[in-house]
Amino acid sequence: MYICIVKLENAIQSNKFKSEVQKAGLNILYTAWWLKTLSCKELKEFGLTHEQYNVLRILKGKHPNQMCVKDIAGRMIEKNSNVPRIIDRLVVKKLVKRTQGEHDGRQTVMALTQAGLSVLESSTNKIDEIYEATVSLNNKDAAALNNLLEKIREKEK
């Protein structure tokens, strides 16, 4: 049991930031890594990786209907994820059932199996629990954070 290193300066052992904006960039990257690590540790006992969990969560959104690869990819957090290969592994574990598309022969369509649904539910409970215990942020702060993050990304590209 030890106190988590809070300050970015400690986490990456540097205090030479050009600006608050540059520091914010690093802070977002570091916090994302921290959050990801947090849930990965929990997911491991369910035999899932972060991205496999993400795909299961997305599939649940349409359950018991099927989704094609493209629809899943569009909902992934990391857009360059190679969805077909993540699904390969979920199919091997029988958490997802994959069949050829009917009205469009190019598509492969996926649905959660009963096992997939059940693993998803227990792992989600576990992650919610950990977040509850570890991510210290009230609703008001979370809303402020959401606004700031969306502000960052608002420029044309």
Interface residues with DNA (CB under 7 A)? 33, 36-37, 40-41, 44, 49-52, 68-70, 73, 78-87, 89, 101, 104-109
113 binds, among DNA, a second copy, none (CB under 5 to 8 A by kind): none
Look at the block and give the residue holding tokens 């994820």.
81
What residues line the site for a second copy (CB under 8 A)?
Answer: 1-8, 12-14, 16, 18-38, 58, 61, 74-80, 128, 131, 133-139, 141-146, 148-157
3-state secondary structure (DSSP) of residue 49: coil
C-alpha distances out from residue 39 to 4, 35, 62, Å: 16, 7, 23
Nearer to DNA, 70 or 94 (CB): 70
Q: How far is the CB of 83 from a second copy (least distance, A)?
A: 14
| Shortest reach from residue 141's CB to DNA, in Å | 25
With beta carbons less than 8 A apart as the criterion, state whether 111 and 66 touch.
yes
Q: How far is CA 96 from CA 102, 108, 112, 157, in A?
A: 18, 12, 5, 36
